[in-house]
Amino acid sequence: MQPQVAPLQEGKDSTARAPSRAFQLNLLKFFALFLILGLGASVLSMYMMRQFGALNLVPTPSSVYLPCVEESTNLDRWIKPPSSLMHSMNDEELFWRASFVPRINKYPFRRVPKVAFMFLTRGPLPLSPLWERFLKGHEALYSIYIHSLPSYHPDFSSTSVFYRRQIPSKVTEWGQMSMCDAERRLLANALLDISNEWFVLLSESCIPLFNFSIIYTYFLRSRHSFVGAFDDPSPHGRGRYNPRMAPEVNITEWRKGAQWFTVNQKIAVSMVRDTKFYPKFKEFCRPGCYVDEHYFPTMLTIEEPRLIANRSVTWVDWSRGGAHPATFGKPDITEAFLNRLLEGHSCLYNNQPSSVCFLFARKFAPSALEPLLEFAPKFFGYG
């Protein structure tokens, strides 16, 4: 009888291969389940994005990524002034942005320098018809900026040079740092236009004493900015100094000057970007220290002494006494008075003697407009 070996061996191999097939089958089931769950999660995610993205509860791709837009390859975005003077920048953002000025004075494009006329006023500009005559025909050579009370809404016609020239403004108080804040705000907004080369601070009571061409040429040929700054030993000068302003400001550097300045671009940037002297004046120069008479004259005397002429180009009359200069109304506007405005002055211009010292004058009441318009062609050369 032959031994039954083969059947026993075959049964043993079959039993050994069975677990291997079962393992492979389970592995395939696992991968299939994983694939189904992954597809389900993807579908659910897409559904959630569509449903909740519309409610802004889940960021959508459009709110996370910026569209791919080709940037301009020319200089237009730097050369063109803002299309609107109104913006949402706060003062800190505005002053930072305004400090972006070219360091190379040779421009790689045709640049026509402009004069920025900056009006610091509470409300209306009653002498605007006189300014309209002065500016007529010179539209490419000037810019206008108005800082008024935020509540004031001007009604200039769309043909006026003052139409939509208000900047974002805040309430200002005489003798307070808010007055200098307004002046810096005007400068900073004007600096956003790279073509502005000179910056003239004016009030609603100011008038121009010469025609536009004379004033424009006077500025562009000047090597100095016009900021009054002198050492006044009286109680109204050094007497206002607070020793706690040292070491940034010592009493020997303390200066006084007129509020109404005319500065070039370099000085304008210095006035806007200052963070060294501003805190000291804000804290320690309060009435009876009138900060608008001391902050810029002192700061510029320390920082840029060779670049300022130490005089103003805005005439005022302090001969009547008091805390404010004389105001002139209709009865005051005579030929003799206008001759006094224009003649008999002596000053330095580019370190040379000159009889043309004042380009603007103040303070003129609204009633002075009619005779000023009448006399302007003869005495001022415009209108």
- Considering the domain boundaries, does residue 58 fall inside one? no
Domain that holds residue 165: 80-312
Reply yes or no on whether the pLDDT at 187 is more than 70: yes
CA 148 to the chain's CA centroid: 15
Reply yes or no on whether the pLDDT at 2 is more than 80: no
**pLDDT tens digit sequence for 333-382:** 999 999 999 999 999 999 999 999 999 999 999 999 999 999 999 999 99
C-alpha torsion 259→262→268→270, nearest 10: -60
**pLDDT tens digit sequence for 264-304:** 999 999 999 999 999 999 999 998 999 999 999 999 999 99
**pLDDT tens digit sequence for 109-137:** 889 999 999 999 999 999 999 999 999 99
Rg of the chain taking only CA atoms, in angstroms: 36
- Considering the domain boundaries, does residue 100 fall inside one? yes
Find the mean pLDDT for residues 4-12.
46
Separation CA 288–CA 175 (nearest Å): 8
- Considering the domain boundaries, does residue 373 fall inside one? no
Output the pTM of the full model. 0.81
Reply yes or no on whether the pLDDT at 13 is more than 70: no
- Considering the domain boundaries, does residue 163 fall inside one? yes
**pLDDT tens digit sequence for 65-109:** 444 444 555 777 778 888 899 999 999 999 999 999 888 888 888
Name the residue with higher pLDDT: 370 or 26.
Answer: 370
Buried b or exposed e, range 225-252, using 16+ CB within 10 angstroms: bbbbbeebeeeebeebbbeebeeebeee
Cα separation values, 337 from 4, 202, 288, 342, 354, Å: 144, 21, 33, 9, 21
pLDDT for position 96: 96
Find the mean pLDDT for residues 200-224.
98
The DSSP H or E segment spanning 115 is: strand 114-120
The CATH number given to whatever domain includes residue 289 is: 3.90.550
- Considering the domain boundaries, does residue 63 fall inside one? no
pLDDT mean across residues, the chain: 87
On whether the CB atoms of residues 293 and 285 are closer than 8 A, the answer is no
On whether the CB atoms of residues 132 and 160 are closer than 8 A, the answer is yes
Name the residue with higher pLDDT: 31 or 87.
Answer: 87
pLDDT for position 24: 64
Domains: count for the chain: 1
Reply yes or no on whether the pLDDT at 5 is more than 70: no
- Considering the domain boundaries, does residue 305 fall inside one? yes
- Considering the domain boundaries, does residue 363 fall inside one? no
- Considering the domain boundaries, does residue 1 fall inside one? no
CA 1 to the chain's CA centroid: 116
